[in-house]
Amino acid sequence: MTQANPLSGTRVLVTGAHGFLGQFVCEQFAAAGVAMVLAPTHDELELRDPAAVEETFVELQPDIVVHLAARVGGIGANEQHPGTFWRDNTMMGASVLEGARVAKVRRVVVVGTVCAYPKFTPVPFKEDDLWNGYPEETNAPYGVAKRAIAVGMDAYHREFGLAGAFLLPANLYGPGDNFDLETSHVIPAMIRKCEEAREAGLPTVELWGTGAPSREFLYGEDCAEAIVVAASQLDDPTPLNLGTGREVTMKDLAGLIAKATGFEGEFVWNAERPDGQPRRSLDTSRALEVMGWEAKTTLEDGLAQTVAWFREHFQPVP
């Protein structure tokens, strides 16, 4: 007997639908057979305005809400705008949860951040370690804001019966990423620097920090697939890690990106710039156990596809 599609006929509202991850999520929901993907733009829905969120949710009557929208950026942006990152992410999360409650949404999926983990979490990070310390200082306001949404989801689940999932993806990357050097994350920043240096014939590229910290990276399409699976299955918002389980140092990552871009020069590490959290790598066994999901794309394949997209699409603003 063919198993019924749990998403068939549903109306799914995606906040942040026009962002980097949102493009993949909307495509995969459409492919999964939902009745409608609702994708309001920032101009159409101000998520920091609780009344506007409540009104929109009641009017559109989504069955499922996926909350992707966030104020995000790399270490530099977090250092320059800590209050903005904390304020905007906290307000958006609270508005979405209350709007979902009022509109009687069936399920809410919230995408959190690996930055919510404590600075010195044992590697690989396990979900139960989320509360065992304070996040790394340079992105703590953002991480704490996302923690607050996790607490809110648990509270709304226990008091109001709001079902859903709280997902903690590793650092995301892929085609369509943000390549602005002032606000981008590490992979798009390295790709752009290597590509521009290669094209200009420059012998060196400067990178931030010492190169010693490690990270784990998740391809955007893989993350989108996990979100769709969660939206079809999960009702308990207990945090779930999403990742590949592969830890890579910044120096090794730079080498992989040099190979992917064809940059043959040297890297100069500026140790006066912050490293951020010393290590990041996730235990993803719970996601496999709870919803049968695991990542498919290797880092090498994902970098190759991201570089190809950059070469075809990226045009720097004059």
DSSP code, position 281:
-
Q: 31 lies in a domain?
A: yes
Residue pair 135/144 in contact (Cβ under 8 Å)? The answer is yes
Compute and round to an integer the Cα radius of gyration of the chain. Answer: 19
Q: CATH number, domain at 116?
A: 3.40.50.720
Q: 197 lies in a domain?
A: no
Q: 152 lies in a domain?
A: yes
117, 134, 142, 156: which one is catalytic? 142
Mean pLDDT within 254-270? 97
- For the chain, helix, strand, coil in percent to 5 are 45, 15, 40
Tokens coding 113: 């951040």
Does the annotation count 142 as an active-site position? Answer: yes
SS3 50: helix
Q: 199 lies in a domain?
A: no
At residue 316, the pLDDT reads: 67
Mean pLDDT within 248-275? 96
* Beta carbons within 8 Å of 311's beta carbon, 6+ residues apart: 195
DSSP code, position 126:
-
Please provide the DSSP assignment of 9-37 as one string.
T-EEEEETTTSHHHHHHHHHHHHTT-SEE
Q: Tell me the per-residue pLDDT of 14-47, one tens digit each, with 9 for 90 and over.
A: 999 999 999 999 999 999 999 999 999 999 999 9
At residue 138, the pLDDT reads: 87
Q: Tell me the per-residue pLDDT of 197-251, one tens digit each, with 9 for 90 and over.
A: 999 999 999 999 999 999 999 999 999 999 999 999 999 999 999 999 999 999 9
C-alpha closest to that of 243 among 203, 287, 209: 287
Task: Tell me: pLDDT of 1 over 60.
Answer: no
Domain interval for residue 61 = 11-177+217-245+280-296
Q: 266 lies in a domain?
A: no
Dmax over Cα atoms in the chain, in whole Å?
A: 62
Amino acid at 215: R
Judged by average pLDDT, the poorest of 5-9, 52-56, 287-291 is 5-9
Q: How many residues does the chain have?
A: 318
Total structural domains within the chain:
1
Q: 200 lies in a domain?
A: no
At residue 167, the pLDDT reads: 98
Mean pLDDT within 161-190? 94
Mean pLDDT within 36-59? 97
Rounded Cα distance, 234 and 32, in Å: 16
Q: 316 lies in a domain?
A: no
Say what the alpha-carbon torsion angle 7, 64, 15, 238 is, to the nearest 10 degrees: -100
The chain-wide mean pLDDT, for the chain, equals: 94
Q: 5 lies in a domain?
A: no
Mean pLDDT within 272-294? 92
Rounded Cα distance, 43 and 46, in Å: 7
Q: How much of the chain exceeds pLDDT 70, in percent?
A: 98
Q: Tell me the per-residue pLDDT of 77-134, one tens digit each, with 9 for 90 and over.
A: 788 899 999 999 999 999 999 999 999 999 999 999 999 999 999 999 999 999 999 9
Rounded Cα distance, 180 and 188, in Å: 8
Task: Tell me: pLDDT of 150 over 70.
Answer: yes
At residue 2, the pLDDT reads: 47
Rounded Cα distance, 179 and 77, in Å: 13
DSSP code, position 125:
B
* Beta carbons within 8 Å of 133's beta carbon, 6+ residues apart: 118, 119, 120, 121
